[in-house]
Amino acid sequence: MDLRQLKYFVQIAESGNFSRAAEVLRIAQPSLSQQIKSLEEELGVKLLVRHARGVTATEPGQQLYDHARRILQELDHAKDTVRSRTSDPSGRVSVGLPTSACRGLSLPLFRIMAERLPNVTFHLVEAMTGYLDELIQAGRLDVALLYDHKAFEHVAWTEMMTEDLMLFVHKSSPIAKRKSVSFRKVFDFPIVLPGRPNVLRTVIEQLAARHDITPAVKDCDSLPAIAKLVCNSNYMAIMPHFAFIDEMARGEMVAIPILDPVPSWTLAVVVSQRTMNTRGSEAVARVLADLIADMVEQGTWRAKLRGEKFNRETLA
């Protein structure tokens, strides 16, 4: 068994098809089939089952796939670690952004990354904060922007800012011209929120509990779907201002401040201490934090900065 065979097997398992895997790997299909046959003979087990739609991994095949994928990832990380010792940060760095921030942050982040860290291979992952937190702790993400992040053993972070949550309504809503709405009155309206255990849902429910309020809301874990509901029905949503900045620019939504009390959360730039590319991850985290701070100072992102921009000492 060698690394080439493992790479071939992983690609076949992920493609679900020998011919598709052969195209990706740029080798002849008969040669690919022979490599897998040799691997099966060496291990003494059947790794793949052929069927009309392609191939599926057997139970031993799935076990080999899990191990092989980790081995290949570790090999990539090892290469990145060695390369990161060059004069400029380099190698692969995966960055997680929460759904409510990704739409407005991804384009300027790609631009500034190309300008300031051209040798870094930048991989962007969009997901809910809770899932990003799990990936960071497991070392499967190098850097992330998280809401209301808690301290964990395998991460280092710096709190960036505090962001108020607002009530979003359709432009023609009867309350669209209000200057504000009280937190208690918000739940007199049809509200849609991400379901548990989403961080925003937790923030709202904990604040409601402290004020003896029982929020009645509809669950929706898709930000684009929430936007559609607000833009095309009488549903309203509680989100940070930055989440729907495009819809507001097009005049489709109105954001109303929520008062008494003001719901808010903190945002933190987080670096996994399990990263295999420490230098590259720290550099990317600083770029991300600088970009966010600049957007806040320019008024593009409505939030209050907490202290100075990203400080490398927070990663020590």
Residue ranges of E strands in 14-65: 48-51, 54-57
How far from the centroid of its chain's Cα atoms is residue 126's Cα? 3
Distance between CA 167 and CA 200 in Å, rounded?
Answer: 13
Q: What secondary structure letter does DSSP report for 194?
A: P
Six-digit token string for 5: 């065979």
Over residues 16-70, the pLDDT tens digits come to 989 989 888 888 999 999 999 999 999 999 999 989 889 999 999 999 999 998 8
How far from the centroid of its chain's Cα atoms is residue 208's Cα? 27
Fold type of domain 91-161+266-315: D-Maltodextrin-Binding Protein; domain 2 (3.40.190)
CA angle, residues 102, 106, 112, in degrees to nearest 5: 145
298 in Cβ contact with 123 (< 8 Å):
no
What pLDDT was estimated at residue 87?
61
The verdict on whether omega for the bond into residue 224 sits within 30 degrees of 0, i.e. cis, is no
More confident: 197 or 241 = 241
Percent of the chain at pLDDT > 90 equals 65
**3-83 and 91-161+266-315, same CATH topology:** no
124 in Cβ contact with 267 (< 8 Å):
no
Six-digit token string for 246: 């495009």
**Identity at 223, one-letter amino acid code:** L
Residue 81 is inside which H or E element, if any? helix 59-83
Distance between CA 78 and CA 111 in Å, rounded?
Answer: 27
Confidence category of residue 196, pLDDT binned at 50, 70, 90:
confident
In the predicted model, what is the mean pLDDT of residues 190-212? 93
CA angle, residues 268, 288, 144, in degrees to nearest 5: 50
Of 69-83, 96-110, 134-148, 193-207, minimum mean pLDDT range? 69-83
CATH class of the domain at 163-264: alpha beta
Of the candidates 63, 65, 50, which has an alpha carbon nearest to the alpha carbon of residue 16? 50
**DSSP calls for 106-171:** HHHHHHHHHHH-TTEEEEEEEE-HHHHHHHHHHTS-SEEEEES----TTEEEEEEEEEEEEEEEET
pLDDT for residue 154 is more than 60: no
Q: What secondary structure letter does DSSP report for 221?
A: -
Distance between CA 79 and CA 260 in Å, rounded?
Answer: 53
What pLDDT was estimated at residue 315?
43
Distance between CA 170 and CA 161 in Å, rounded?
Answer: 28
Distance between CA 79 and CA 101 in Å, rounded?
Answer: 31
- Kindly indicate whether the domain formed by 3-83 is annotated with CATH number 2.120.10.70: no
Of 60-74, 153-167, 170-184, 222-236, minimum mean pLDDT range? 153-167
Which residue do the tokens 């992983």 mark? 10
Which residue ranges make up each domain of the chain? 3-83, 91-161+266-315, 163-264
Exposure string of 148-176, with b = 16+ CB inside 10 Å and e = fewer, is: bbeeeeebbbbebbebbbbbbbbeebeee
Residue 105 is inside which H or E element, if any? helix 99-116
Tell me the helices (H) and strands (E) count for the chain, helix number first: 11, 13
pLDDT for residue 244 is more than 70: yes
